[in-house]
């Protein structure tokens, strides 16, 4: 894909082990998250990177911290909104969208198989989505 779409730019890649886990644990604003971001971004900045492209939907939740670490001169491209728009297009094309008004839309429901995590999952989901969330413990058979 890089050869097809990126011809006049140098593209550097950086894996970021641990960031997904921090987001999922609700530790987006932690000192550990900041330290990891700095560890992953600093070498890129030293090589003159001017744009960062987020390659994981979890990274959207770290965008504010990432911009702080990278500085105002670095552009951050977050493809998550475009991905969400494409999902809507595909759902619409297949007649799978809900036509009810927003005020009657179904609540957001998150399921976990671990009852002991119910409260933590609820708090994290509400913080990430900024909307009320129902959490249900389910049993998979």
The reported pLDDT for the residue numbered 138 is 82
- For residues 75 and 98, the answer to whether their CB atoms sit within 8 Å is no
Quick one: DSSP state of residue 134?
A: E
pLDDT of 99-113, one tens digit each? 666 665 667 777 777
Tell me the percentage of the chain whose pLDDT exceeds 70: 92
* Burial of 28 per CB tally in 10 Å (0-12, 13-18, 19+): buried
- For residues 66 and 76, the answer to whether their CB atoms sit within 8 Å is yes
Strand, helix or coil for residue 109: strand
Sequence-ordered strand ranges (E) for the chain: 51-53, 75-77, 108-112, 133-137
- For residues 54 and 83, the answer to whether their CB atoms sit within 8 Å is no
Q: Where does the pLDDT of residue 43 fall: very low under 50, low under 70, confident under 90, or very high at 90 and above?
A: very high
Structural domains in the chain plus CATH codes: 2-81 (3.40.50.1860), 101-141 (no CATH)
Q: Please report how many Cα atoms fall inside a 13 Å half-sphere around the Cα of residue 43, on the Cβ side.
A: 8
Across the range 18-34, mean pLDDT stands at 90
- For residues 78 and 57, the answer to whether their CB atoms sit within 8 Å is no
- For residues 107 and 132, the answer to whether their CB atoms sit within 8 Å is yes
């Amino acid at each position: 894909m890089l050869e097809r779409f990126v011809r006049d730019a140098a593209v550097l890649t950086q894996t970021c082990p641990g960031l997904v886990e921090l987001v999922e644990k609700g530790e987006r604003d932690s000192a550990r998250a900041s330290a990891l971001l700095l560890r992953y971004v600093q070498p890129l900045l030293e090589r003159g990177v001017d744009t960062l492209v987020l390659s994981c939907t979890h990274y959207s939740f770290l965008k504010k911290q990432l911009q702080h670490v990278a500085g105002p001169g670095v552009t951050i491209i977050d493809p998550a909104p475009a991905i969400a728009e494409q999902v809507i297009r595909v759902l619409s094309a297949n007649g799978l969208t809900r036509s009810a008004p927003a005020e009657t839309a179904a609540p957001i429901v998150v399921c976990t198989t671990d009852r002991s995590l119910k409260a933590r999952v609820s708090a994290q989901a509400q913080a990430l989505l900024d909307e009320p969330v129902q959490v249900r413990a389910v049993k998979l058979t």
